[in-house]
Amino acid sequence: MRSFWLWLLFIGTAWFLAVRQQQFISSVSMTWSLLSSACFFALYFLFPLVQKNARLLTLVQCGAACVVVIVFWPNVEGEMNLYALLLMSLLAGHAFYLLPLLYASIVGALLFAGVAIPALIGISGFSLLFISFYSVLLTVALIILKNMRILEIDQEARYDALLSEYRKLKRRVATDESQAREEERIEVGREIHDSVGHKLTALVMQLEVERMQSDHETGSRIANLKTLAKESLEETRRAVKTMKDKEIGGVSAIIRLIRQLEAESYLRIHFSVKHGAFTAPLTNNQTIAIYRAVQEALTNVMRHSHVREAKILFEVPGGRVFRFEVSNPVTFVEPWREGFGITSMKERIKEVGGECHISHSDSCFMVSGVLPLIKEENV
């Protein structure tokens, strides 16, 4: 888009100066100048609309070249318009910039004919030798420019392919790391279950045997020891079960998500934690709901926001509730509707006893939620 306006600036300036010079030479009427200008720039503004179709773009550029040749056809009493020659050179350069070499050559040949024929029949201020030499130099320069453009496009494609492969490798490394941690947890849990759990079970059985064979006082003490051993066995089993569960939520998972998005240059995220949010007594279902809500909010930012920036805030105001907030700046107000993702987010937060709110202003789009905290009882 930037190159379009740059070409428009150059071609528009050359057209203005060429028309002004043509009026000075041959007293062209203002009506003809305005009509020809309208036709030329109408064709020029069609360039980006048909840019993906090489044949149609060639046809439109040939039409623009014909307008230039007709408007600036030299007068028998006048001299060749230097600005018109510059304008034709810019049109040829624009054709070589956008079109394949074969189609660009057609536009260039048409422009060359429009300059060379007046010189050949002797009504141009330039000799045919000068026009031929100038055209050869311009053609060589444009071919070099075209080759550089092709090389640049090829390098951009290679860069995009390498960047995509790099991101795939980073995701694979993160996945492999997660799988390695999961396998390690399973292995440690298996070792605890097979060794510690087995020994605690044997200890409970031996204590029961000793209690049955001892007197009342000793049996009471052994019974207390047996109770402690059974509690230790139950805690060990709970720990093993927890280690086997896959970690899909919590603050640590959100931090990994933030690191992944920033590493892949999708978003720039500002993460803030206030009032002891890291140590808030949340249930496993609550941490999973918070993780999914933050994930959905960041996904919406990547899909719909024009600003690749977001802010995440966790806080525990008053120590009674956990509050999260995901916001991103907006450049202008756009109409939006609640889709499946936001609806699921609200339902998931509601299922764990919380509330989720969406707010939209002229400068910010915000997703926020509040969840009640579990009251810790003193044992």
pLDDT tens, position by position, 200-235: 777 777 777 777 777 777 878 888 887 887 777 777
Backbone angles phi, psi at 359, to 5 degrees: -130, 145
User: What pLDDT is attached to residue 247?
Assistant: 46
Q: How much of the chain, in percent, has pLDDT values that exceed 70?
A: 82
Handedness of CA 56, 58, 60, 63 (dihedral sign): negative
Q: Nearest Cα to 270, choosing from 298, 300, 248, 304?
A: 298
Q: Nearest Cα to 252, choosing from 223, 278, 232, 229?
A: 278
In the block, tokens 């060639």 appear at: 58
- Strand ordering across the sheet containing 321-329: 268-274, 309-315, 321-329, 364-372, 355-360
Q: Nearest Cα to 283, choosing from 367, 344, 354?
A: 354
Backbone angles phi, psi at 252, to 5 degrees: -65, -40
How do strand 321-329 and strand 309-315 relate by DSSP bridges? antiparallel
User: What pLDDT is attached to residue 242?
Assistant: 63
Lowest mean pLDDT among 25-29, 106-110, 263-267, 300-304: 25-29
Q: Concatenate the DSSP letters of all residues of 120-144 into one string.
A: HHT-SSS-HHHHHHHHHHHHHHHHH
User: What pLDDT is attached to residue 276?
Assistant: 75
- Name the CA radius of gyration of the chain, rounded: 38
User: What pLDDT is attached to residue 377?
Assistant: 42
pLDDT tens, position by position, 159-193: 888 887 887 777 677 666 666 766 676 677 666 76
User: What pLDDT is attached to residue 204?
Assistant: 75
Q: What integer best gives the mean pLDDT of the chain?
A: 79
User: What pLDDT is attached to residue 15?
Assistant: 85
User: What pLDDT is attached to residue 137?
Assistant: 92
b vs e for 265-288, b when ≥16 Cβ sit within 10 Å of the residue's Cβ? Answer: eebebebeeeeebeebebeeebbb
Q: What is the mean pLDDT of residues 240-248?
A: 57
Handedness of CA 273, 275, 277, 278 (dihedral sign): positive
* Residue-range domain boundaries for the chain: 2-126, 184-244, 251-372
- Residue 361 reports pLDDT greater than 70: yes
DSSP-based three-state secondary structure for 265 = coil
pLDDT tens, position by position, 270-297: 888 887 777 788 887 888 888 888 888 8
* Selected residue with higher pLDDT from 282 and 324: 324
β partners of residue 360: 365
Instruction: Give the pair of three-digit tokens for residue 265.
Output: 């240059």
Instruction: Give the pair of three-digit tokens for residue 60.
Output: 């439109």
Between the alpha carbon of residue 186 and those of residues 26, 98, 213, the distances in Å are: 91, 59, 40
User: What pLDDT is attached to residue 63?
Assistant: 92
pLDDT tens, position by position, 58-91: 999 999 999 988 888 776 555 667 888 888 999 9
DSSP-based three-state secondary structure for 222 = helix
pLDDT tens, position by position, 128-168: 888 889 889 998 998 888 888 888 888 988 888 888 788 77
Instruction: Please give the CATH superfamily to which domain 251-372 belongs.
Output: Histidine kinase-like ATPase, C-terminal domain (3.30.565.10)
Instruction: Give the pair of three-digit tokens for residue 368.
Output: 């926020």
